[in-house]
Structure formats: C-alpha cells, structure tokens
Chain A
Amino acid sequence: METKHVPEKFIVSIGPQHPALKEPGHFEFTVDGEVVTDATARLGFVHRGMEKGCEERNYTQDLYLMERVCGICSHVHALAFALGVEKLAGVQAPPRAQAIRSLVAELERIHSHLLWLGVAAHEGGFDTLFMFSWRDRETVMDLLELISGNRVNYSANVLGGVKIDINDSQRDALHKGMDFLEERTHHYMKVVTEDETFLGRTRNIGLMTKDQASLLGAVGPTARASGVKHDVRVDSPYAGYPQFPVKLITEPAGDLEARFVVRINELFESYRMVREIIDHLPEGELSVKVPRRIPEGETISRVEAPRGELLYFMKSNGTDQPDRVKVRTPSLCNWASVLTLAVGHKLADMPMILAGIDPCFSCNDRMVTVNRGGNSQDWSWEDLRKYGIAYYK
C-alpha cells in the first residue's frame, strides 16, 4: 500500500449527492474531531437559467415559468410575478381574487411548514415525527388539490386575478381540514417543546442573536426566531393581507428550538387566516383584463414566502416580453447565517442547522463564477466556447 499524503485539515464534504440533502448543494465542513471549525457552501448545480428564459417569453408564459422556480412554494412565485406585472400595467385584481390568492398562499405555507417539520425531524434522526407530520401534510395537499386541481403547482394565478373559486362544499372541507390539522399541530408543539431527546438536539443549538440575524441578512422564520420583527405580510401587506391582517410571530431565543416554535406558531396563525378568509370571502369578479403589452417601467414586488421574503425586480420595455426579471429567493439570504453558525458546533448538528433555515436549493441556484486568478469578467461568446471545449476535453 502506497503511503498517501495526509492533509492537515480533515474536511467532511456533504453533497451534491448525500442522503442528508435531497437537493444538490455542496458543503465542506472542516472538522477537528467532531467539532466544525470552518464551513463553506457551493451552489449552482441545478442552475436553470429561468431569469434569462423569462426574457424570451411573453408575460403569460412567464407566469407559468416562474411558478416552477420552486417546487414547494410555487404559488408565491407566481403571485409575486403577477403582482409585479399588475403594478406595471396599472391594474388591480378584484378583492375576491386577492383574498383567494392569500388563501392559497396560507395553505401553501401550511404544507411547506409541515414538510419542513418532517425534514428537520428526520435530520435529527427522529423518523417517527417525520412520518407523522408528512402523513398529516397529506390533508393540506388534498385540500389544495380540491380547490385547484393540483397538488404542487396549483396555477391559481392569472395576470389580473385568479382562475379558481371557492364554493360551499370546498369551504366545509377546508374547515374540517383546518380543525384536524390544528389538533395535530398542538401535539407537535408538545413534542418539539417537551421531548427530552429532541430538546437535546435543538435547545441552544445554532444560537443566533438578533444583531447577528440582522447583520447576516437573515429573513423569514429564521430571522423571526431570533426576534427580528420582519414579515412582508405585516410590513407592506399585499394581495388579501390588507383586508385580513396577519399577526407577526417572533421568538426571542434564536436557537433551533425557537425556529421550530416560530414555524409551528405560524401554522396556527395560518389555520386562523384560512378560516377567516373563507368565512369572509368578498363577493365579486375573479379577474380583470390586463393588457398584452405592458408599458415601460420598473418595479419591485415583495411577498412573504414560507421561507421568508421573496423579492422580484421587473423591468418592462413596452412589449409583451419583460426586459429583465430578477428573483431573489429567501434561502439565498439565509445561507450566510448557516455558514457562520456552523463554526463551533458538532458535526452531528450540521444537518439540523442546515435544515433549520428550511433551505430550498433549486430556487436559489445562481451561476457562480469561480475567479481562479483571472481578472477579466467580460467573456465573449468565442471565449466561452473555447473555455467549454477546454474544460470538458
């Protein structure tokens, strides 16, 4: 056996293929025994070029494309896009449509948070909670299928409104579903705040103070678990939220347990919202007409996705195709917090700290330029072609 050079640093790499992450991301944890001393992330394995793709399609086609940015929070992407286009076109969707948009967004939040609860429990080796929460998540998936016909990409939005309506039998089903889920969620709240072995894995793990959260630009439940009072639904209400206000939920502790508690409390708030909206659904039309050509302009559209603030920047040029669409997804904002928090923790805590921000990989993939000493950022097509041939030779 030949002797191999033993590197001084012991690096455990996780991903892009690893059982902990079902989506492609690459992390390198430098460990000293079990303790992590350094962490880096590399993204970009499933870059799909969607922003560029938007410029090649008209606004209606883009709506369908943007709904597929994320597989879990699909509705909010379409919602953010539709709201932006409506703002550019100077139209406003009718109140009933806005309320239904919020209703689907809240149902989506329920499904996303229950999914996260299961994934986070699985990362901590608590498969029983994983199986139970995913079983109950089927309830909300069935409800979404009932009202929209789809389990994942609900396609509820059109430019200028929605294409689904809520009838009485659907309302009853929603009420029944919310009652069942609320009862189950009370049980999960008990599990995550009282189960000793589980608390051993979450309490005082991944501690992030309020200042750190602000400094690292954390968003969504991750930031709210550190006491940052920030929620787009509250700060600048959109869609149906001006009419149906949301309670801001924060937790001061800042550890993993707080992230569980915040999300579970948000579940309760979402159940309340769903009930409120279906009980007081405004009457009226479902959509208004939006012109095919959108007048020239720029806008920013912000919505609160289940993972945090989702930002769309849009620039129109007077044609039926956008000039530029820029998407900033919440997971991208939260990476910095993970990499900072990782240092000093045990390797065994890494999956849970990673899962604690509820990462979504494919929606935050960006093209990454690794600058290996070269100084030029401008490459011509010919340069790129040559580089590609050389790279894969």
Chain B
Amino acid sequence: MNLTINPILALLIFPGGLCLLAYSLVYEFVDRKLIARFQNRVGPRWFQPLADFIKLLAKEEIIPTGVNPALFVVLPIIALAAALTAALYVPMFGLQPAYSFSGDLVVTLYLLSLMTLCIGLAGANTQDRFSLVGATRALTQLFSYEAPFLLAMLGPAIALGTWNINTINTAAAHNWWYLITQPFGFLVALIGLMGKLELPPFDAPEAETEIVAGALTEYSGRGLGIFHIGRNVELVIGLTMIASFYMGGLSSPLDFLWKTLVLLLVTALLQSLFARLRIDQTVGMWWRIGTILVLVQLLVIILGRYLGPVLQSLIGG
C-alpha cells in the first residue's frame, strides 16, 4: 500500500513520531498482559503503560553527582531519536516506508543498535556499582547477539539480492515465507530481538535481583521514561522488520497487525518459559549455537543463489 505524506508529518506524526509512540505503548501493554496471563497473574490495565510514562515525565529527574550532566540528559533522547528514525525506513503499519534508499537495511540495523550503546554509555557514565556492572553486561550482550542478529536479518536480503527494506518487503510477499525456507534465520532473528531488548531470559544486564535496574539504576523521571518508550518503539520496529522479512511481507495495515501480534505472542511465551541466563551463558549460547546456525543458513543461501543457476544451466544444457 502506498501513501504519500508530507515529510514533516511523516517524521513527527505518522508513521513516525507521535503515532508510533502511542502504538508502542499499546504493544507494551499487550506484552505485559500476555506475560501476566501466562504467569497466572491479572496483569496491567490497558492504559497502564501510558500512565507510567506520564508519571515518569512528571517526576523530578535527579542527576547524580559524578556524572557528566549533558551526557546524562542527552543519552535517552539520542536512544529514542535513533529508534524513531529507524521507523522511517521500515514498512510501519504495512504502509510503504516514508524514506527508502538502497542499503537502508544496514542503516536501520545500526540505528537499532544505538539504543544498547546509549544504555551502556548511560551506565558507564554514572559511578553507581550496579550501573557499571549493568553497563558491562549490556555491552557484553551487544557483542554476543549483534553479529548473529545482523546475519539473520541479512539472510532474506542476500537471497533477494537487495539491501533495500522496501524491495525486500515487496519481494517477500511474492515468495514463500522465508520463515519456512530459512527457519534458522527466523529463529535467530526473533531471539536476537529479545536479546536486543533485554527481555527475559536475556535480562542479565538489568537483572533486578542482582544489580537492581542495571545500567539505568541511576535514571529517574524523564530520562527513564524516554529510555522505556524508546525500547518499546524498538520492539515495534523489530517485530515489523522480522514480520516483513520472514513472514511474507507487510502489504496492508491488517497484515501488519496480525503478523506482528503473532510474533509478540511468541516472544511473550518465550519470555515466560525460561529462567534468566547468566551473562556467560548468554554469550556462550550466541556464539556456540546462534552464530553457527545462522552461518550454516547463510552458506545454504549463498550456495543456492550461486550454484542454483549453474545447476539449472547444466540441467537445461
């Protein structure tokens, strides 16, 4: 579906900006509610994420001693801005991306990584013990999931021979779902997204029973609220990308809705199934299993792509 929107509107209201913020709060609610129901709890009311956000915005932001105040204030804003910018290049709501150029896949993936970098920096900026340990763990985790996640997202791109998200999205609709032809890639991408967002069982960087809130321990009020909503936005974008790459593209808002919600259901299920992994277990798992899986996948794609025509010509000839 194509929709021409004034660039300023696209940036600030729809599909980026306000609309996305509101939508990400809805997804946070769905996520929390689903996990609560899986855990036999009642769960939050529908407006709870919004209420939390407003409350955090209204609260005093305490800047602890020993930090670089400018960095302390600006880091959450950079994180949110990066996530919102990334939204412009993905088919949000099943509409065509607001902006598109060849190679925007790489830019989007790096914009999504900025969040973790900002969280790591935010933790390292303070002198709090829990923050420092949390920051170390967040960055350690970044180095473990980032490579497999990147490779997993590149799978469909390599198969289709384009690094443009919009082209992949359109082309994916005409092929078999890559979920079926590239199951390892899908698995690694989805679990990689959970690692990226520090969702359980990959929540070692913010394990509350060990290091309180990890890197964000010293954050309060506005900064914390912005970090939270930035993470929600990233959740929506991540789900959109995986759905458009691996689940046959997003061609309409309805398509978008059911595919991302199904993915959210799966992540919520995974979140409530496992005990938290220690950071060394996380790293081990990604490098020993995740990377190998995705490399095998990549090898198969490349072989299929380059040997396929050769074989075809041999058989045909």
Contacts and interface: CB of A to CB of B under 8 A. Distances in A.
A128 interface: yes
Given A12-B130, A34-B280, A350 B210 contact: yes
A42 interface: no
The contact size tier of chain B is: 20 to 34
A186 B40 CA distance: 19
Given A18-B212, A123-B209, A349 B201 contact: no
Given A125-B201, A127-B200, A348-B207, A12 B129 contact: yes
A201 interface: yes
A360 B278 CA distance: 26
Interface string B268-288: 000011111111110000000
B210 A20 contact: yes
A248 to B, nearest CB: 30
A20 B209 contact: yes
B301 interface: no
Contacts of A197: 201, 274-277
A11 interface: yes
B68 interface: yes
Interface in A170-201: 195, 197-198, 200-201
A42 to B, nearest CB: 17
B275 A1 contact: no
Interface in A306-337: none
A340 interface: no
A202 to B, nearest CB: 9
A4 B275 contact: no
Given A10-B129, A348-B210, A195 B66 contact: no
Given A18-B212, A125-B200, A131-B39, A4 B276 contact: no
B38 interface: yes
Contact of A1 (B68, B200, B201): B68
B66 A201 contact: no
Interface string A352-377: 00000000000000000000000000
B133 A347 contact: yes
Nearest to A13: B129
Interface in A1-18: 1, 4, 10-13, 18
Contacts of B278: 200-201, 346, 348-349
Contacts, number: 86
Contacts of B39: 127-128, 130-132
Contacts of B234: none
A130 B276 CA distance: 13
Contact of B209 (A19, A34, A132): A19
A124 interface: yes
A351 B279 CA distance: 15
A18 B62 CA distance: 19
A310 to B, nearest CB: 27
B204 interface: yes
B41 interface: yes
Interface string B191-216: 00000000011011001111110000
B272 A19 contact: no
Given A19-B208, A122-B209, A34 B279 contact: yes
Contact of A125 (B66, B127, B209, B280): B209
Nearest to B39: A131
Given A125-B276, A127-B39, A4 B129 contact: no
Contacts of A130: 39
Contacts of A346: 278-280
B304 to A, nearest CB: 33
Contacts of A350: 210
A126 B40 contact: no
Given A128-B38, A128-B39, A348 B279 contact: yes
A148 to B, nearest CB: 27
A12 B133 contact: yes
A305 interface: no
Given A12-B130, A126-B274, A19 B212 contact: yes
A264 interface: no
A289 interface: no
B66 A1 contact: yes
A135 interface: yes
Contact of A201 (B68, B133, B275): B275
A121 interface: yes
Interface string A115-146: 00000011111111111100100000000000
Contacts of A122: 209
B275 A200 contact: yes
A195 B275 contact: yes
A31 B130 CA distance: 12
Interface string A235-255: 000000000000000000000
Interface in B35-50: 38-41
A20 B209 CA distance: 4
Nearest to A200: B281
A136 B224 CA distance: 35
A192 to B, nearest CB: 10
Contact of A132 (B40, B127, B276): B40
Contacts of A201: 275-276, 278
A363 to B, nearest CB: 22
B286 to A, nearest CB: 14
A357 to B, nearest CB: 16
Nearest to A31: B133
A114 B174 CA distance: 54
Contacts of A195: 274-275
20 contacts: A4-B66, A10-B129, A12-B130, A19-B208, A31-B133, A34-B279, A125-B203, A127-B39, A127-B272, A128-B38, A128-B273, A130-B39, A131-B40, A197-B274, A197-B277, A200-B281, A201-B276, A347-B211, A348-B210, A348-B279
Interface of B: 38-41, 66, 68, 127, 129-130, 133, 136, 200-201, 203-204, 207-212, 272-281
Given A200-B275, A347-B133, 8 more contacts: A12-B129, A31-B133, A124-B276, A125-B207, A126-B274, A126-B275, A128-B273, A347-B211
